[in-house]
Amino acid sequence: MPCYCAKIKTIERDIAKITDAKAALQTLKSNNGSLDSALSALADQMRQMATPDNIEECAACIKALNKSSEDTITGMINQCTSNISRLEDDQTRYEQLDLTYHASHAAPKK
């Protein structure tokens, strides 16, 4: 059974990087709310200028512009959360194996 110290350090770095990415995505999602509000305002202005024949279709198209990016960002945040969880499980497993390794290779006490 090998030592897993290097593997544990790699996992810790990976978790830190994914946690940073997740925080950036959450900030982006928050900022995305501002974009959604701006698009809604644009849709409202559009209603004033559009003709009766196309008013609702135009407003719906404008509001839909931001929907796919919101779903994508949420999906990416969920993926980060899932990856962090998986890495934490791996880390726990390797730490247990590493404790066993080091306990069996410890110098005998005099």
Q: What are the domain boundaries of the chain?
A: 5-104
How much is the pLDDT for 13?
A: 97
CA-CA distance, 101 to 73, in Å (whole number)? Answer: 41
Predicted model pTM:
0.68
Query: Could you report the per-residue pLDDT of 2-17, keeping only the tens digit for each?
Result: 899 999 999 999 999 9
Give me the pLDDT at residue 86, please: 96
pLDDT at residue 108, as a whole number = 67
pLDDT score of 32: 75
CB burial of residue 51 (10 Å; 0-12, 13-18, 19+): exposed
Report the pLDDT value the prediction gives residue 107, as an integer from 0 to 100. Answer: 67
Segments in the chain below pLDDT 70: 47, 50, 66, 107-110
- What is the pLDDT, as a whole number, of residue 66? 66
